[in-house]
Amino acid sequence: MSEDDILISRIKELALKAYNNSYYTYTGFLSPAEISILKRLFVAEPQMSGLSYKLYGGMDGCERCMAAFGNEEIFGYECEFPIQCIHIKPRMQKYADKLAHRDILGAVLNLGTTRSNIGDIYLRDNTAYLFCVDTMTEFIMDNLEKVKHTPVDCLLTNDNIDISINKESRNILVSSLRVDNLIAKVYTLSRNDAQTLVKNKRVFINQITCESAGRTLKENDLVTVRGFGRFEYIATVKETKKGNLSINVDIWC
């Protein structure tokens, strides 16, 4: 079986288990590609009709999310995602290396955990907020002592998490609302490069894999480009005399 087939089988198993036993079941953290598979499965498979799921990654706007299967109206209680947040900070900021996302992720994975146990990682002021499966929290906090050459402390910070997502609002000119057009403009790429990203299934619109570079975006569509980031098409402001479109986008920084 391929990895996709294994994922589909697991999703079906968890969804039916929740339905038959009247309690919530949860996946690990899913990547955008895996979330796309889940969403398409619930649309395409007749046996999934009537089953419910929710996606959540620890706070609103997360890219990597868990899926919870179940229905609050039927079960009579709200699901509680098994997610916790760890604040990772250098012991002495003055002497700390400049920490990047890959440094934090690499250090955590080197402890022996798997990617599905780890959600989004947000960097703020050379510290990191890491979402993880709650069963891994104690293990990570007990064992993560260094990132790169920097000694770090780990603090549980589930209450009053204040991680604002940095966005840049920008007005850009495009010839059309094709997704490859906007990707090229936002990330300063050629149209060919943008089309290659779509062809290689590295582009997602509202967490579903984009199959066509010619896909026309609608207002508030969220576009994720693996390796580059995310942006949201907000609205078209006006059409210029030359027929181009002046549009507003929010770009995740």
> Are residue 95 and residue 71 in the same domain, yes or no?
no
> Are residue 126 and residue 99 in the same domain, yes or no?
yes
Looking at residue 173, its pLDDT comes to 97
Average pLDDT over residues 178-184: 98
Q: Establish if 151 belongs to a structural domain.
A: yes
Of 128, 156, 184, which residue constitutes the final position of a domain? 156
Q: In what order do the strands lie in the sheet with 208-209?
A: 167-174, 245-252, 229-239, 222-225, 203-205, 208-209
Helix axis angle for 191-199 and 179-186, nearest 10°, is 120
CATH code, 20: 3.30.1370.160
> Are residue 183 and residue 127 in the same domain, yes or no?
no
Q: Establish if 173 belongs to a structural domain.
A: yes
Q: Establish if 162 belongs to a structural domain.
A: no
Q: Establish if 161 belongs to a structural domain.
A: no
pLDDT band of residue 159 (cuts 50, 70, 90) is low
Average pLDDT across the chain, whole number: 94
Looking at residue 238, its pLDDT comes to 95
Q: Establish if 40 belongs to a structural domain.
A: yes
> Are residue 183 and residue 221 in the same domain, yes or no?
yes
Number of independent structural domains in the chain: 3
pLDDT digits (tens, 9 = 90+) for 36-69: 999 999 988 877 877 899 999 999 889 999 999 9
> Are residue 60 and residue 115 in the same domain, yes or no?
no
Beta bridge partners of 170: 249
Q: Establish if 196 belongs to a structural domain.
A: yes
> Are residue 18 and residue 71 in the same domain, yes or no?
yes
212: domain range?
167-252
Q: Establish if 211 belongs to a structural domain.
A: yes
Look at 18-27, 140-149, 153-162, 183-192 and tell me which has the smallest mean pLDDT: 153-162
> Are residue 176 and residue 199 in the same domain, yes or no?
yes
Structure tokens at 163: 């991680």
> Are residue 185 and residue 238 in the same domain, yes or no?
yes
Of 130, 156, 182, which residue constitutes the final position of a domain? 156
CATH code, 104: 3.30.70.330
Taking the alpha carbons at both ends of the chain, their separation in whole angstroms is: 38
Is residue 171 over pLDDT 80?
yes
**pLDDT > 70: percent of the chain:** 98
Coil, strand, or helix at residue 223? strand
Q: Output the pTM of the full model.
A: 0.85
CA 218 to chain centre: 20
Report the C-alpha gap between 213 and 35 in whole angstroms: 20
> Are residue 91 and residue 143 in the same domain, yes or no?
yes
Average pLDDT over residues 161-175: 88
Q: Tally DSSP H helices, then E strands, for the chain.
A: 7, 14
